Amino acid sequence: MSNKSVALNTQNFNHSTERRGARCIWLTGLSGAGKSSVAQAVAEQLRSGGKQVFVLDGDTLRRGLNRDLGFTEKDRAENVRRVAEVSRLMSDAGLLVIVAVISPYMRDRAFARSLFQSGQFMEVFVDAPLTICESRDVKGLYAKARAGVIPHFTGIDSAYESPISPELHLQTDLRPLEQCVSDVMAMIEK
Ligand code: ADX
């Protein structure tokens, strides 16, 4: 790489990090806890207020960018690393990024946080008990996991490490979607 391009990249970096404090809202939680629903509803509300928002959703990304990855601990770490790096790039481009991935391991979420300045990364624990997620079973995956058809399923035979001090803890089994969205909006606007 030439000196010129190094200088240019440094300039881009400084410019973007000092800029407007573009942020990343990181939704973590079990499959079926409501991450995608909250992400889409919050994005809609922010867009209607004129904000430029992009949602990075695990299910969607696993059909493209991350389609080579499975659900072992190593693959999930790589999945989360890629999503985190993309979210950082998008926030550098001025977008408010909402990420919705299970991201079950604390160290992978800590890595994602490490890419952002303090206050720019907001971890939201989208929480519902496993029994509730399993009873919702929107995609029919819990039934398959219980039947042994899908191995390493989060909450069944693969761990989920709950956040200890997320910026926000949403209990989606206790609060309707609109209230969860209001909670996220209040956090963003604080
Ligand atoms: S993560 O653990 O690597 O963060 P990610 O959010 O990208 O997961 O993808 C989770 C989605 O993949 C789930 O919502 C579900 O639809 C699907 N899925 C397929 N197999 C599994 C599995 N073994 N564990 C969890 N989710 C799975």
Question: Is pLDDT of 25 > 60?
Answer: yes
Q: How far apart are CA 125 and CA 71, in angstroms?
A: 20
The catalytically annotated residue of 31, 36, 87, 103 is 103
Q: Using one digit for the tens of pLDDT, what is the confidence trace for 123-180?
A: 999 999 999 999 999 899 999 999 999 999 999 999 999 999 999 999 999 999 999 9
Q: Using one digit for the tens of pLDDT, what is the confidence trace for 76-127?
A: 999 999 999 999 999 999 999 999 999 999 999 999 999 999 999 999 999 9
Q: How far apart are CA 140 and CA 118, in angstroms?
A: 38
Helices 73-92 and 106-114 cross at an angle (nearest 10°) of 20
* Banded pLDDT at 13 (limits 50, 70, 90): very low
pLDDT at 18 (0 to 100) = 42
Helices 35-48 and 177-189 cross at an angle (nearest 10°) of 60
Closest by CA to 157, choosing from 34, 72, 59, is 72
* Banded pLDDT at 22 (limits 50, 70, 90): confident
Beta-strand runs (E) in the chain = 24-28, 53-57, 96-100, 121-127, 168-171
Question: Is pLDDT of 17 > 70?
Answer: no
Closest by CA to 52, choosing from 117, 115, 97, is 97
Closest by CA to 146, choosing from 17, 26, 89, 137, is 137
79 CB within 6 A, ligand 1: yes
101 CB within 6 A, ligand 1: yes
* Banded pLDDT at 190 (limits 50, 70, 90): confident
Question: Is pLDDT of 14 > 90?
Answer: no
pLDDT at 21 (0 to 100) = 56
Q: Which of 71, 76, 108 to mutate to test the pocket of ligand 1 (most atoms within 8 A of CB)?
A: 71
- C-alpha 29 to ligand 1 mean position (Å): 10
Q: Environment class of residue 112 by beta-carbon count within 10 Å: exposed (0-12), middle (13-18) or buried (19+)? A: buried
Closest by CA to 65, choosing from 95, 28, 90, 36, is 90
Judge whether 103 counts as a catalytic residue: yes
Q: Using one digit for the tens of pLDDT, what is the confidence trace for 35-85?
A: 999 999 999 999 999 999 999 999 999 999 999 999 999 999 999 999 999
